[in-house]
Amino acid sequence: MQANDPVVDAVQCHAEAGVLTITLNRPKANAINVPTSLALYAAFARLQDDPALRVGIITGTGRFFSAGWDLAGANEGEAVDADHGPGGFAGLTEFFSLSKPVIAAVNGLAMGGGFELALAADLIVASETAEFALPEVKLGLMADSGGVLRLPQRLPRAIATELLLTGRRMGAAEALRWGLVNQVAPADGLLPAAVALAQTLVANAPLAQAAIKEVLRRTQGLPTEQAYQVLRHHDLPTYRAMLRSEDANEGPRAFGEKRPPIWRGV
């Protein structure tokens, strides 16, 4: 893709101090079609592959974080079950091997697939103006890019089911009350709040963070006893590598020497 390519312009990346900020800029609603999904996946793959990058932030411009699936594209022939590439819809919803933390900085309306994109992130910082909804049921569809799977893991089942079956909107304050988002920030302070959270993550051990993501993914929904069996006896390569890592020695050593640790990720 070349400069001024509309897909390139729609997905903008800025790397600074170990943080890759990925911005959806596709007026008016930051809707996502197949080319945009592929561009988003390329950005998240860059985060995964570049050792200098530690944390990703996904955000949007304007009134919308993302309106989700591009209905205009659907009217132009994009199938409802179109292949959105190796990361799934929006490049992240099925990028299960992404081992680095991602923060969704939800600047406005997160509708349908936009909400599912936020749910695929590890942490959510929301603007006071943010609203979340899965209105697919009003279109004869369901939120099958992770919404129907992830939302009941993040909210009490009755509340998640209500959102899925009614398509109603949930504001930022309610989302915070239910623990769906990690924090709410003023609109003009959203990105600074997300970057501050990202820098907190950058200061911690990268291999340990990758191991945490691996264990969370592999034990999701399991009873505690069964989860322990997975932790102790199953193939968890990142967790095993963490236990044997130089970082696992560096952390206690730095603590004893009263200095910041120097993480190497090995």
263 inside domain:
no
164 confidence band (pLDDT: 50, 70, 90): very high
Mean pLDDT, residues 143-166 taken together: 97
Residue 85 shares a structural domain with residue 110: yes
Structure tokens at 126: 């929301």
Q: Of the listed 78, 116, 225, 257, which one is catalytic?
A: 116
Q: CATH number of the domain that 157 lies in?
A: 3.90.226.10
104 inside domain:
yes
For a pLDDT cut of 70, what percent of the chain falls above it? 94
22 inside domain:
yes
Q: Quick one: CA dihedral 224, 226, 228, 230, positive or negative? A: negative
Q: Evaluate whether 214 touches 236 at the Cβ level (below 8 Å).
A: yes
170 inside domain:
yes
Residue 222 shares a structural domain with residue 94: no
136 assigned to active site: yes
Residue 158 shares a structural domain with residue 249: no
- Residue 131: what residue type? E
Mean pLDDT, residues 129-144 taken together: 96
261 inside domain:
no
Residue 145 shares a structural domain with residue 231: no
161 inside domain:
yes
262 inside domain:
no
Given 202, 227, 248, which residue is the final one in a domain? Answer: 202
Tens digit of each residue's pLDDT (9 = 90 or more) over 41-89? 999 999 999 999 999 999 999 999 999 998 776 656 567 778 889 999 9
Residue 96 shares a structural domain with residue 186: yes
Question: For residue 7, is it left (φ>0), alpha (ψ between -120 and 50) or beta?
Answer: alpha
Domain residue limits at 222 = 206-256
174-185: b or e for each residue (b if 16 or more CB lie within 10 Å)?
ebbeeebbbebb
Q: Evaluate whether 116 touches 150 at the Cβ level (below 8 Å).
A: yes
Residue 153 shares a structural domain with residue 213: no
Residue 112 shares a structural domain with residue 236: no
Tens digit of each residue's pLDDT (9 = 90 or more) over 208-257? 999 999 999 999 999 999 999 999 998 999 999 999 999 999 999 999 99
Residue 175 shares a structural domain with residue 210: no
Neighbours of 57 (CB within 10 A): 24
Residue 82 shares a structural domain with residue 22: yes
Mean predicted lDDT score pLDDT of the chain: 94
Residue 15 shares a structural domain with residue 135: yes
- State the Cα–Cα distance between residues 102 and 221, nearest whole angstrom: 21
Place of tokens 């004869």: 140
266 inside domain:
no
Candidates 105, 102, 96; CA nearest to 181 is: 105
H or E stretch including 206? helix 206-219
Q: Of the listed 131, 136, 174, 250, which one is catalytic?
A: 136
- Residue 235: what residue type? D
How many domains is the chain partitioned into structurally?
A: 2
The pLDDT score that the predictor gives to residue 76 is 61
DSSP 204: S
Given 184, 202, 220, which residue is the final one in a domain? Answer: 202
Residue 52 shares a structural domain with residue 110: yes
Mean pLDDT, residues 185-213 taken together: 98
Given 164, 185, 202, which residue is the final one in a domain? Answer: 202
Residue 146 shares a structural domain with residue 234: no
